[in-house]
Amino acid sequence: MQLLKMIFIVDDDPIHQQIANIMIRRQGIGENVRAFSDAQDVLDYLRQYHYEPDLLPDLILLDLNMPVMDGWEFLNDYAGFYQNLSKQIGIFVLTSSIDDKDRKKVDNYSFVKGYLTKPLSNEIITKLQES
């Protein structure tokens, strides 16, 4: 089992942030879990620390439906600079959307490792560990 040093949860819902944080800690897959309510804050962080791999997350759990900047806008912006990051970051969409169109649209982003539906469960965490 691989221990991830840093995991970012990007979700505007504090309840889902808390559930994900608790599940990750219970399963012992992450040392440091940070929650963000605004995807723009994550992009700003990644740009600020793009040359410092120890400060970049190993994994990002990204919600699609958020009010300020949604997950699609995040993915489009991230697509423009992720190859310049000093570390490869695993991104999983973690959403309440069960729409097949969303699932297919996510496939257009080669850097997204998977499409997961909320809430985070032990089964989903096992998938994260295997990636």
Element at 71 (helix H, strand E): helix 71-79
- Which has more pLDDT, 124 or 7? 7
Residues near 14 by beta carbon (within 8 Å), at least 6 away in sequence: 35, 37
- The CA distance from 79 to 110, in Å, is 9
**pLDDT of res. 44:** 97
pLDDT over 70 for what percent of the chain? 95
- Give the C-alpha distances (Å, rounded to integers) separating 58 from 2, 7, 70: 11, 6, 21
Residues 57-96: pLDDT tens digits?
A: 999 999 999 998 999 999 999 999 999 999 999 999 998 8
The model carries a pTM of 0.92
Q: What superfamily does domain 4-130 belong to in CATH?
A: Response regulator (3.40.50.2300)
Whether 28 contacts 124, CB under 8 Å: no
Q: Is the pLDDT of residue 1 over 50?
A: no
Domain range annotation of the chain: 4-130
